Amino acid sequence: MADVAERAGVSTSTVSRTLRGLSTVSPEVRARVEKAARELSFAVSRQAASLVTGRTGTVAVMVPTLNSWFTGSALSSLAPLLRAAGLQLNVYEIPDLDERTAFFEHLPARRNADALLVFSFDLTEEETARLDDLGMPVIYVSQHVDGRPSVYVDDVAGALHGTRHLLNLGHRRIAFVPTEGASGFTFSSNERLLGYQQALTEAGVPLDDDLVVSTRTGSKRAAAEALGTLLSLREPPTAVFAEQDEVAVALVWNLRRTQIAVPERVSVLGFDDQPLADWFDLSTVAQSPSEMGRLAGELALKLIDDSDGDHERHIVLPTHVIPRGTTAPVAERATAPVEAGATVPVDVGATTRAATAAARDGQSASSASE
């Protein structure tokens, strides 16, 4: 910076003022300084600047993985926002418990960022507390943390509407397939399970633990096992609601391989609406991670500027049921004699009411928690 100052024939203060765009610089001097800076291809060292301003010009994000639709979409909409605000994006990828322990041990973000965005981690009380005195705003993304700024989707409502969609199609034996994530990493399992149960209860359908079978994500084999468990029940389900699209697709894949027609014999519903769902024409409950990334970013910017402001601290995003080709009205059981004994009698009146309700379904889901 001294070089620039010398070349432009001014003091370093003036150079600093010019480069930060302060208005208290005469146009003539400004031009001279900018020219000199360009010629020397000078760039301010954020390190040095932050030393005195106390701001790092950096936002840190903590993500379980960089290699997922969710994280990718969210960061992709967060990044331009930060760039526009002149902030850097710093990524901490914490794929497992070891790394996580190490992260909380040292909290490397301390003093090295102006805000931290925590993605999809199911933190302990203690961990949350540690983040509390990190000395910077911490925003929780895709999760709800009491009393802290959070941006998340209404998973209960999403699962509720999804399950209603299946009920409205006449299904009564509806399975739910949650994902057993790596411990400590939440994928909203509990809340989605809750929504599923709520929908059944409000429809007067008894809960049946046999219909809840968990699986691992990203494994066709694991999905096959879960499916096997369900298909070998005394009364197998006519519809399966998977907690994640990937699992739903694995179920469809396995069902079709076994010549069990989807959706004719079994309906399958996912949750997420990632691109894979579209490829497989999967009915699903959509959420928007890019919207979450954007809103979390905006919240972060606000909190950095004025961390005591009375901003809305909890942002809840809606979900939308997207009916595609893997959900259909429950089959007439007469045509499937093999499983005849396993079938719940369908009350025709209910089916009619269901059809009517189904017509409204997309809409009512759209307005969920808005």
- Quick check: 185 binds its own copies (CB under 8 A)? no
Structure tokens at 45: 């060292």
Among 93, 84, 238, 70, which Cα is nearest to 167's?
Answer: 238
Structure tokens at 80: 């331009």
Nearest residue (CB) to its own copies, 48 versus 340: 48
The residues near 159 (Cβ < 8 Å, ≥ 6 apart) are: 191, 192, 193, 194, 195, 196, 198, 199, 241, 271, 285
Among 200, 270, 257, 197, which Cα is nearest to 231's?
Answer: 257
125 CB burial (10 A radius; 0-12, 13-18, 19+)? exposed
Nearest distance from C-beta of residue 302 to DNA, angstroms: 20
Residue that has been written with the tokens 């983040």 in this structure: 131
- Quick check: 6 binds DNA (CB under 7 A)? no
Whole-number Å distance between alpha carbons of 75 and 83: 12
Helical spans, DSSP H, in the chain? 2-8, 12-19, 27-39, 46-53, 69-84, 97-106, 125-132, 155-168, 189-202, 220-231, 245-257, 275-279, 289-305, 348-366
Nearest residue (CB) to its own copies, 11 versus 53: 53
Structure tokens at 341: 């004994």
The residues near 192 (Cβ < 8 Å, ≥ 6 apart) are: 155, 156, 158, 159, 176, 178, 243, 271
Pick the piece of the chain touching DNA (CB under 7 A) from 26-34, 86-94, 126-134, 316-324.
26-34
- Quick check: 324 binds its own copies (CB under 8 A)? no
Task: Please report, for the chain, how many H helices and E strands are present, in that order.
Answer: 14, 11
- Quick check: 28 binds DNA (CB under 7 A)? yes
Nearest distance from C-beta of residue 85 to DNA, angstroms: 16
Binding residue (CB under 7 A) for DNA from 31, 39, 40, 51: 51
At 39, which amino acid appears?
Answer: E
Binding residue (CB under 7 A) for DNA from 24, 41, 259, 335: 24
Whole-number Å distance between alpha carbons of 338 and 168: 25
Nearest residue (CB) to its own copies, 187 versus 196: 187
The helix/strand/coil state of 359 is: helix
The residues near 17 (Cβ < 8 Å, ≥ 6 apart) are: 24, 25
Nearest residue (CB) to its own copies, 45 versus 258: 45
- Quick check: 106 binds DNA (CB under 7 A)? no
- Quick check: 51 binds its own copies (CB under 8 A)? yes
Nearest residue (CB) to DNA, 43 versus 334: 43
Nearest distance from C-beta of residue 204 to its own copies, angstroms: 38
- Quick check: 306 binds DNA (CB under 7 A)? no
Residue 16: which of DNA, its own copies, none does it interact with, CB under 5 to 8 A by kind? DNA
- Quick check: 44 binds DNA (CB under 7 A)? yes
Query: Residues 115-154: x/- map of binding to its own copies (CB under 8 A)?
Result: ------------------x---------------------
Binding residue (CB under 7 A) for DNA from 16, 214, 351, 366: 16
Interacting positions 238-297 with its own copies (CB under 8 A): 249, 253, 275-276, 279-280
Among 297, 316, 368, which Cα is nearest to 153's?
Answer: 316
Interacting positions 52-71 with DNA (CB under 7 A): 52-53
- Quick check: 45 binds DNA (CB under 7 A)? yes
Q: How many residues bind its own copies (CB under 8 A)?
A: 46
Whole-number Å distance between alpha carbons of 91 and 97: 17
- Quick check: 153 binds DNA (CB under 7 A)? no
Residue 67: which of its own copies, DNA, none does it interact with, CB under 5 to 8 A by kind? its own copies
- Quick check: 2 binds DNA (CB under 7 A)? yes
What are the residues binding its own copies (CB under 8 A)?
Answer: 41, 43-48, 50-51, 56, 58, 65-69, 71-73, 75-76, 79-80, 83, 88-93, 95, 99, 106-108, 110-112, 133, 218, 249, 253, 275-276, 279-280
